[in-house]
Amino acid sequence: MTISIIIPTYNESKLIHHLMSSILNGKTDDIVEVLVIDSVNSSDNLVDALPENDAKYIKSNFCSRASQMNYGANLAKGEVLFFVHADTVLPQTYVADIQNMLSTYDLGCYRATIDSSNFLLKINSYFTRFHFLWCRGGDQTLFVKKSVFHELGHYDEKFVIMEEYDFLRKAKGKYKFGIIKKSVIVSARKYENNKFWKIQWANFMAMRMFFNGGYSPNEIKDKYTQILNLEY
């Protein structure tokens, strides 16, 4: 199966070179393209940080991950869509890992290891091996057969936060989901600017509002960013 890698970005020029290096280290002929879908609001000249001829830079008219990833999916040529956040590092075996998993499953992700020696963050990383929806997240990547992605109706663009959770909730019970028993490495930058328990509280509140169903995605995002004092 051929694979299109889709990377939604917003001012990611400082970190994306780690991801690009890991992509190139494991790249095979089955990777038909690497699409970097940059936010309309980005202002960091990300294109200058990308390896020449190894990624297609696309400045989108969108400013949310769901919209950017849908845009990339509509352009993608591969049979598999592989969505990856810019602050992630892939294992060198990622192509074979995905192809092997999708010989049995319809979509899936990796486990994740947060790039920190902090014991509490190691606990967070440990839980990414479990199938509970609250153990998921875009940092773990998401790979999905393109036909399945379209059958599920893409990412719901009203989800300006937690778009992966909504997508996986739609897939549950309809398609087979697998977790690769290897980890991607995820930047600990969020924890460098916020205390651990503050982030846990923000995550708990976002998940509670999401599962409650009585809150709009904008209300969930407002609560999350308010707790963490974020500006985006």
Does the predicted TM-score (pTM) go above 0.75? yes
Based on the fold, state whether residues 19 and 101 are members of the same structural domain.
Answer: yes
In terms of Cα–Cα distance, which of 61, 52, 47 is closest to 11? 47
**127-162: pLDDT as tens digits:** 999 999 999 988 999 999 999 999 999 999 999 999
Share above pLDDT 90 across residues of the chain, in percent, rounded to a whole number: 88
Asked if 172 and 206 sit in the same domain, the reply is no
Cα gap 154→148, rounded to integer Å: 9
What CATH number is associated with residue 134? 3.90.550.10
Provide the pLDDT for residue 232: 43
pLDDT in the model for residue 195:
87
Are residues 140 and 47 located together in one domain of the fold? yes
Is residue 221 scored above 80 in pLDDT?
yes
**Residues 99-121: b if buried by 16+ CB within 10 A, e if exposed:** bebbeebbbbbbbbbbbbeeeeb
Per-residue pLDDT, 186: 96
User: Is residue 104 very low, low, confident or very high in pLDDT (cuts 50, 70, 90)?
Assistant: very high
Q: Are residues 178 and 109 in the same domain?
A: yes
In this structure, the answer to whether residues 129 and 150 fall within a common structural domain is yes
Co-location of 127 and 211 in the same domain = no
* 180 and 198 both lie in a single domain: no
Model pLDDT for residues 7-56, shown as the tens digit of each residue: 999 999 999 999 999 999 999 999 999 999 999 999 998 998 898 778 99
Question: What per-residue confidence (pLDDT) applies to 1?
Answer: 94
Number of domains the chain is built from: 2
Do 202 and 163 lie in one domain? The reply is no
Task: Give the pLDDT confidence of 53-80 residue by residue, as tens digits.
Answer: 789 999 999 999 999 999 999 999 999 9
Q: CA 70 to CA 149: how far, in whole Å?
A: 10
Note the pLDDT tens digit of each residue in 160-186.
Answer: 999 999 999 999 999 999 999 999 999
60 shares a domain with 108: yes
Same domain, 116 and 175: yes
Q: Could you list the residue range(s) of the whole structural domain that residue 213 is in?
A: 194-232
The reply to whether 54 and 73 lie within a common domain is yes
- Average pLDDT for the chain: 94
**Domain limit, last residue, from 173, 189, 205:** 189
